Amino acid sequence: MPLSDSQIQSLGRDAMQCAASGDFVSAERALMQVVEGWPNSGQALHLLGQVRLKLGRFAEAREPLERAAKFLPKDAAAQINFAGCLGMLGEHQAALAALERAAMLKPADATIAYNKGRALESLGRLDDAERCYDEALALDHRLLPSLSARAGLLARRGDWMGALNDLDVALTQRPNDPHLRLRRGELLLQQGDWLRGLPDYEARLELTPNAQGGERYAPDLPRWQGEPLTGKLLIYPEQADVGSDAAMRDTLLFARGVDAVVQCAPGLAPWLAMPTIGRDASLDGFAAAAPLRSLPLLLGWMPNAVPPIPVRQGERMTSTLVGWFTDLDPPAGLEVERDVERIAECGLVVGDDRTATHLAARRGIRTILLLGKTADWVWATSAWYPYFEVRREHELDTLAQRL
More confident site: 235 or 375: 235
Instruction: Write the DSSP assignment of 273-331 as a string of letters.
Output: SS-EE-TTS--TTEEEEEEGGGHHHHHT-BTTBPPP----GGG----S-EEEESSSPPP
Regarding whether 156 and 34 lie in a shared domain, the answer is: yes
For residues 286 and 39, give the distance between their C-alpha atoms in angstroms, rounded to a whole number.
Answer: 66
- DSSP assignment letter at 39: T
Residues 87, 161 share a domain: yes
In a domain, 224, yes or no: no
pLDDT tens, residue by residue, 59-109 = 999 999 999 999 999 999 999 999 999 999 999 999 999 999 999 999 999
Asked whether the beta carbons of 403 and 321 are under 8 A apart, the reply is no
Residues 370, 286 share a domain: no
- Pick from 188, 206, 224: which residue ends a domain? 206
Q: Look at the chain and report how many structural domains it folds into.
A: 3
Domain end marker among 299, 325, 342: 299
Mark whether 138 and 17 lie in a shared domain: yes
Inside any domain, residue 227? no
Q: Could you tell me if residue 308 is inside a domain? A: no
Domain of 353?
A: 313-400
- Tell whether 42 is covered by a domain: yes
CA–CA dist 271, 399 (Å, integer)? 28
Q: What is the pLDDT of residue 395?
A: 76
Condensed to tens digits (0 to 9), the pLDDT of residues 144-193 reads: 999 999 999 999 888 999 999 999 999 999 999 999 999 999 999 999 99
Q: Give the DSSP letter of residue 240.
A: S
Residue 35: predicted pLDDT? 86
Q: What is the mean pLDDT of the chain?
A: 91
Largest CA distance in the chain: 90
Are 26 and 134 in a shared domain?
Answer: yes
List of residues 6+ apart from 312 with CB closer than 8 A: 363, 364
Q: Are residues 274 and 191 in the same domain?
A: no
Last residue of a domain, one of 252, 271, 299: 299
State the amino acid at position 24 in one-letter form.
F
Answer whether residue 179 is part of any domain. yes
Asked if residue 225 is part of any domain, the answer here is no
Q: What is the pLDDT, as a whole number, of residue 334?
A: 87
Question: What per-residue confidence (pLDDT) applies to 313?
Answer: 53
pLDDT the model gives residue 314 = 46
Whether the pTM exceeds 0.85: the reply is no
- Cα dist from 371 to 73, 132, 153, 368, whole Å: 49, 32, 20, 10
pLDDT at 36: 87
Identify the CATH number of the domain in which residue 190 sits: 1.25.40.10
User: Are residues 92 and 165 part of one domain?
Assistant: yes
Predicted confidence (pLDDT) per residue in 269-321, tens digit: 988 989 999 999 999 999 999 999 999 999 999 998 899 987 655 455 567 89
* Among the ranges given (13-22, 100-109, 122-131, 362-371), the one the predictor scored with the smallest mean pLDDT: 13-22
Residue 327 in domain: yes
Q: Quick check: is 213 in a domain?
A: no
Q: DSSP secondary-structure letter at 401? A: T
CB atoms within 10 A of CB 305: 12
Same domain, 82 and 139: yes
- Looking at the fold, whether 239 and 340 belong to one and the same domain comes out as no
Residues 278 and 350 in one domain: no
Q: 174 and 27 share a domain?
A: yes
Clarify whether residues 42 and 184 are in a common domain: yes
